[in-house]
Chains A and B, each alone.
Chain A
Amino acid sequence: MIPVEFRGFAWRHAGRRAQAVTGVDLRVEPGERVLLLGPSGSGKSTLLAALAGLLTEDAGEQEGEVLLDGKPAADQRGRAGILFQDPETQLVMARAGDDVAFGLENQAVPRGDIWPRVHRALDAVGFPYGPDRDTHALSGGEQQRLALAGVLARRPELILLDEPTANLDPQGAQGIRDALRAALADTDATLIVVEHRVADILDLVDRVIALGPGGALIADGPAARVLTEHGATLAAQGVWVPGAPLPHRPAPAPGGPALRSDGLALAYPGAARPALDGVSFELRQGELLAVTGPNGSGKSTLALLAGGLAAPDAGTATVPGERRPLHRLPARRLATRVGSVFQDPEHQFVTATVRDELAFGPKQAGWAKDRIEARVAELLDRLRLAPLAEANPHTLSGGEARRLSVAGALAAAPGVLLLDEPTFGQDRRTWGELVDLTADIRDEGTALLAVTHDRDFAQALEARELVLEGGRVAEERPC
């Protein structure tokens, strides 16, 4: 366990004009367990990267000092252990055991000591397989557990966690929290966590530091006190403060039929059982259908088939007024019938400005020029994208990119909108925006289907719930 100190620290990433953080003065005592809060863009990840020794001279411009144990952190890369958000890009090796061993080899641990330490680390995080397990065959939650084992095996005196559960489904996130709890009980390392979902992590920390935009200190102290005194401010900034009220948008009475799925089925080549095995449902105008179920239950496959984006082995998805099933429609016609919004908004961006992005669907559909212009102006305004009209879609923040991908899918005025995990990994503020946006779209009469793990989202919108299990409909119920 080591002390950590920022003295007048500021950092500007190479190629950026603005500083990511300015004037940070912080001290964390040896063995302290700290939760670092702040809105997106407050530089939390930059602070962790600085402590991990990853901000090198060629990566940007530094002012002030970052000290680990009294010495510059940049000279001690590898001394702190850091767990990032994305499990896929933290694993280096093809076999699970080799991946944990990788960090020990770098530390020059003698061969005889490596494997016992690998086994102990895998046990500590409750890794359910042997060391020869192929790292590609792991779920996201399991990969993240393996990455955590890789951090712990090095026995760091400072552990940094950068939103470790943000990319995981609830089950995977719970697994990581359990593993962390067990592992932290076993070490006296100093801990700094960045996490929006405060309630889930509160019992692991004894101090909360809240930062404002640019890294300005808002509050610092015992967790309970900071959250009571500054709860409202933090919630407004996007922190999931426990007990803060969530929005509620009651559902209007649904209208006529908008999309019909009849016995949709699909088996992926080489899979033991079909991903989807005869799923039928009806979606009506002005309603939100939440498709839920455990991992591998076929939710995402259903979204693909219902959106006409993949051809089913059997069954059809149809919309009124269109004789052909959706997967047979040419893409430019499909976009006027059903819009699909994917988890990663950037995959869907096909033009260089926000304005072109909104005009794209209507243009493809062959709308008249003034009709397109009117539609784009309307969407820019409604989704608060007008100030960004000329910006490149790839430079938008997470929340803005999400709004744009929804707006792009809506542009050609489809009667149905499909959303894949729309609230995944979002902070509290973006989450609230998405609830309002979804409700507005629904209340105008668009039929919505959302694949989601997020119970709060479904409840806030009074969604009808379609529960999938093993590729079949297990239950249909009001939420």
Chain B
Amino acid sequence: MLTLAPVCGPEAAIARANPVAKLAAVVLVTTVALVAGDWLTPLLLLAALAIALPFTGIRPGPLVRRLRWLWLAAAAVVVVNAVFAAEQTGRLLVDLGPIAISSGTLLDGTAIGLRVCVAATAGVLVFATTDPTDLADALTQQLNAPPRFTIGSLAALRLLPLLAAEWRQITTARRARGLEGGWNPLRRTRLFASTMFALLVGALRRAGRLAAAMDARGFDTEIPRTHAREQRMRPADWALIALAAVAAAAAVALSVAAGTFSL
């Protein structure tokens, strides 16, 4: 089943932190990684994330499963940037006629790949340790996000697994009618499109019914809502943001000291 539930032990320090604090920390680290143009800064930030890992309580298995595609994408970024750089600089490492890779472009490519890695890993760490309901609560209570958006997104999220189940039902029902993609790619594509359409029609109808049920329970009237679960910024949450800031500053300072830093 499609799920966005957290995959961590609920007692870990970072898992218990306020979702908005976690988001702030990620934004800090990611911004620095994306702004820095060298390879050392993102590498140091990645090391900082590795140190934070035990405090997230994420089990290694699910983490690797969630990260593998993102890391693969980052590796692809490295290759593409190294091969298709406008100008090959530094020592030539690979020369296969049209495909040439030199040390300078490889370093640049690696820097870009590492930045993607930092952003992806930090994002996964936050979403793997955060319950969507808590995130919505914190966005509403700490950042005054409108409930129409936060609660509306939660309700939509609840409907997602139903879509997966309905997709299977529609596909089965179509086989019963004599419709099947088989090996013909054209027929497969047409069938996919028409199944998608049927799914969308059903989804819109569902969304309409859900909206009516929410309205009937007094959602989105003039009355300001109260919150059944309180989300607060505790000292530990401020400390998390501070730690992220310190880590980002330290990474920049070290790479400046090493002489690699650039923008």
Residues of A within 8 A of B (CB): 49, 52-54, 77-78, 80-82, 84, 86, 88-95, 98, 101-111, 114-115, 118, 135-136, 147, 150-151, 154, 304, 307, 309-310, 330-332, 334-335, 339-340, 342, 344, 346-348, 350, 360-361, 364-365, 394, 408-409, 412
Contact = CB atoms under 8 A, between A and B. Distances in A.
Contacts, number: 165
User: Interface residues of B: mostly helix, strand, loop or mixed?
Assistant: helix
17 contacts: A53-B216, A78-B217, A81-B217, A88-B206, A90-B213, A95-B133, A102-B151, A102-B214, A103-B217, A106-B223, A108-B223, A114-B228, A304-B172, A331-B177, A350-B177, A409-B177, A412-B178
Interface string B211-235: 0111111111101111111100000
Given A98-B133, A105-B228, A106-B221, A93 B154 contact: yes
Contacts of A80: 216
Interface in B168-183: 169-170, 172-180, 182
Q: List 4 tightest A-B contacts by C-beta distance, closest first.
A: A78-B218, A331-B180, A335-B178, A101-B228
B176 A350 contact: no
Contact of B224 (A54, A103, A108, A110): A108
Contacts of B162: 88
B108 to A, nearest CB: 44
A108 B225 contact: yes
B213 A89 contact: yes
Q: Size range of the interface on B? A: 35 or more
Given A105-B226, A348-B176, A93 B133 contact: yes
Contacts of B132: 94
Contacts of B230: 111
Contacts of B170: 347
Contact of B179 (A53, A114, A331): A331
B1 interface: yes
B217 A91 contact: no
A46 B226 CA distance: 31
Interface of B: 1, 5, 131-133, 151, 154-155, 157-159, 161-162, 166, 169-170, 172-180, 182, 194, 198, 201-202, 206, 209-210, 212-221, 223-230
Contact of B201 (A118, A154, A394): A394
B218 A106 contact: yes
Contact of B178 (A92, A103, A334): A334
B218 A77 contact: yes
A331 B216 contact: no
